[in-house]
Amino acid sequence: MSRTTLKSDPSDVRARNIRAVFQLLFPVDQMSRAELGRRVGLSRMAISEVVGEMVDNHLLRETGMDSRTGRGKRSVMLAVDPDGWRIVSVDLTQTFVIRGALVDLCGRIVGRVEIPCENAGDVQLEVVGELCEKLLSMTDRPVLGMGMAVPGVVDPDGVVIRSVNLGWTNVPLKKRAETRFHIPTVVCNDTNMALLGECYFGDCSADSMFIKIGQGVGAAVCVNGEIVNGRGYAAGEIGHVVVDPKGPRCVCGKRGCLEALLSVPHLRERIDSEPEDRTSILAEAGQRLGRALAMTVSLLDLSDVSVFGPPEIVGEAFIGSMREELEARISADYRDMPSLHRCQQGDDLVLRGQAVAVIRQLIDSIHNRSLVEGVVRSTSEGEQLHHDPGEPSN
């Protein structure tokens, strides 16, 4: 019987090595070449070659000698070079404002732009393009890529299949952005990006669930360190699951969706009309969410549940009631109860998580890009994120 041996393409090996080294140092760790070589499994010569290329391409920088005392030669330490490149990150989750940021290679925001929407829920692609232009004009560094976080279902090609909050259906956002700016663009679901940000900058385990409560309600799940997208890329889209058939009308047309009951605008409206019942309203909301999630948490044996939302909403009453509901509905006889906590990362979490997604997807493509010339942006004056006649409209 013949046996076929699959050989690795040298460029694939090189890309894997760059990703592995960068992953060890991102966002703010430091290691020597020898330690990196041991961790990645490369010889001294091979790791020196990989690191040398990454330093030349401004992915890494030498930070000085290690702090050892005593005998032996001290090692030169390496870290991610925060100033070599910039990422343009855009958050489209709010219906009344579009938020964008310039992010460095360590995931830190170094500049930001916000553009209000004239009509709530009316996010126009032309305005998204205007925001990106403003961000690009704020830096003279080469741009690694652009990232856009969208509430709704997004496929791997960057097509927004459906976003109820934005009113978009089959919008090829990645294609339009790349056509205009000639910069690689990564489009993702907003809650997945919040989870990614929590994993890198917050408190998140390899098996966790992230709940984002804002204009809508979304979830993201991480299993064995990988974000679950689902067959139709709609994993975590829990906002329009009906939990109370007699509940209020939702923007999707159904009654009693989780989003219609737990979104920040809905809860604030209830609290404003019944301020004396504030605690009971928030406790009821936490109970509803705990009841809705108990099956999934138990089914996937998750160890962490993180809830993101305004502190005046996702506070002690909300979290406490949610915890009680999870404990009442999940058997503790053969497993530990998951840790439940409020995410402390703040409003920039989606922007930073989206930047991480860009870095992870594009970090090994830099050898094909000119650092001297920067990333070419051939944008004609007045050009917009236009609608092609053969494409679906937003």
> Residue 120 — pLDDT band, cuts 50, 70, 90?
low
Q: Is the dihedral of CA 158, 163, 166, 170 positive or negative?
A: positive
| Per-residue pLDDT at 122 | 63
List of residues 6+ apart from 109 with CB closer than 8 A: 101, 102, 103, 348, 351, 352
Mean local confidence (pLDDT), 320-329: 95
Residue 11, Ramachandran bin (φ over 0: left; ψ between -120 and 50: alpha; else beta)? alpha
> Does pLDDT of 374 surpass 50?
no
List of residues 6+ apart from 388 with CB closer than 8 A: none
Mean local confidence (pLDDT), 135-150: 97
Q: Is the distance from CB of 217 to CB of 378 less than 8 angstroms?
A: no
List of residues 6+ apart from 174 with CB closer than 8 A: 148, 157, 158, 159, 185, 186, 187
69/47 Cα distance (integer angstroms): 25
Tokens of 295: 């099956």
| Per-residue pLDDT at 71 | 66
| Per-residue pLDDT at 117 | 84
Helices then strands (H, E): number in the chain?
11, 16
Q: Burial level of 252, CB count in 10 A (0-12/13-18/19+)?
A: middle
101/347 Cα distance (integer angstroms): 12
Other beta carbons less than 10 A from residue 167's beta carbon: 15
> Does pLDDT of 194 surpass 90?
yes
Percent pLDDT > 90 in the chain is 77
Q: Is the distance from CB of 306 to CB of 265 less than 8 angstroms?
A: no
387/352 Cα distance (integer angstroms): 29
Backbone angles phi, psi at 251, to 5 degrees: -65, -20
Read off the pLDDT of residues 213-250 as tens digits, 9 standing for 90 and up: 998 999 999 999 999 999 999 999 999 999 999 999 99
**Domains of the chain and any CATH numbers:** 11-66+74-80 (1.10.10.10), 86-192+349-366 (3.30.420.40), 203-342 (3.30.420.40)
> Does pLDDT of 370 surpass 50?
no
Mean local confidence (pLDDT), 104-111: 98
> 278-300 and 264-273 are packed helices; what angle lies between their axes, rounded to 10 degrees?
150
